[in-house]
Amino acid sequence: MDITVNILLTIATAATPLLIAAIGELVVERSGVLNLGVEGMMIMGAVGGFGATYLTGSPWIGLLAAIAMGAVFSLLFAVMTLSLATNQVATGLSLTLLGLGLSGMMGTSFVGQPGERLPNLYIPGLTEIPVVGRLLFGQDPIFYISIALTAAVMWFLFKTRTGLTLRSIGDSHTSAHALGIKVIRYRYLAVIFGGACAGLAGGHLSLVYTPQWVENMSAGRGWIALALVVFASWRPWRVLAGAYIFGAVWIGQLHAQAFGIPVPSQFLSSLPYLATVVVLVLISRNKRLTMMNTPASLGQPFVPDR
């Protein structure tokens, strides 16, 4: 039973950064913007969170620094794509490459330094409950933030007027502009929110998942988060389910190696990425479902005076 609980705990820990980054990107894409720079923002959040924690001794300050780093980096993307109308795909890819290179340079002095982990929640009497106690009342704070964030985004998008406006911009920015909606303003806010979420996901990597700085420690999670949005058909609750499925695959291959299963370790390590490819192929076969939920203006630049 202890082994099962520990496996479930590690799955939740592995799924949390995927969930947060994917939820942020979902809001961005619902506004009609395609930001492929999630990986770059995550790694910048990771180095910013670890660096601030190392310099101040407070992981909470590190967490705020991770969020700020992701938001600032996303602002660069927003200026390029929304104000200057550059190609969103090319700019997002450039943002990822910039983030990977810049984080490596910034984190040079942090390599090998001891990190400080965010403390897990502890509620006397509840955390000690067998099996469910640690799962429900003994997780790290970012785990609870990720669940609350998913619920909040679901409520915002489908239960509020502002959420309806954001979705209408993603479906037809021209029509929204004709109705007097400030398309660029909404998209700026959505992109910054997505960047803050990616930064928070990166902070989880360096402050909870592996409390240290390792170059390229995001290890492709930003790309998996992008795939999760498509996998979920732009629905928050499906992102939650998908994140835990991918988290289980991620942890499953680690335990398979630990148990000595006679399969090449390189193949096991590739399973999360192989699962991503398989899921995208399966989704692409159902074109009706994909077209029905895809924001119609996704990836299209918008310039008000044209």
pLDDT of 272 strictly over 90: no
Output the DSSP codes for 30-48: HTT-----HHHHHHHHHHH
Q: What is the pLDDT of residue 3?
A: 79
Q: What is the pLDDT of residue 6?
A: 83
Alpha-carbon span 56 to 50, nearest angstrom:
10
Q: What is the pLDDT of residue 232?
A: 86
Residues 6+ apart with CB under 8 A from 167: 30, 157, 295
pLDDT of 45 strictly over 90: yes
pLDDT of 28 strictly over 80: yes
Q: For residue 138, what pLDDT band results from cuts at 50, 70 and 90?
A: confident
Burial state string for 169-184 with b = 16 or more CB within 10 A and e = fewer than 16? bbbbbeebeeeebebb
Q: Contact 25/35 with Cβ under 8 angstroms?
A: yes
Lookup result for tokens 């990720």: 146
Q: What is the pLDDT of residue 293?
A: 75
Q: What is the pLDDT of residue 91?
A: 95
Q: For residue 127, what pLDDT band results from cuts at 50, 70 and 90?
A: confident
pLDDT digits (tens, 9 = 90+) for 211-233: 999 988 998 899 999 989 988 88
Stretch 28-43: mean pLDDT, rounded?
Answer: 96
Q: Contact 42/222 with Cβ under 8 angstroms?
A: yes
Q: Which amino acid, 230?
A: V
Q: What is the pLDDT of residue 43?
A: 96
Stretch 130-153: mean pLDDT, rounded?
Answer: 91
Of the candidate ranges 51-60, 90-99, 181-190, 285-294, the one whose mean pLDDT is the lowest? 285-294
Ordered domains of the chain (ranges, CATH)? 2-293 (1.10.3470)
Q: Mean pLDDT of all residues in the chain?
A: 89
Q: What is the pLDDT of residue 291?
A: 67
Q: What is the pLDDT of residue 306?
A: 53
pLDDT of 144 strictly over 70: yes
Q: Contact 183/303 with Cβ under 8 angstroms?
A: no
Q: What is the pLDDT of residue 290?
A: 65
Residues 6+ apart with CB under 8 A from 57: 116
Of the candidate ranges 19-23, 129-133, 231-235, the one whose mean pLDDT is the lowest? 129-133
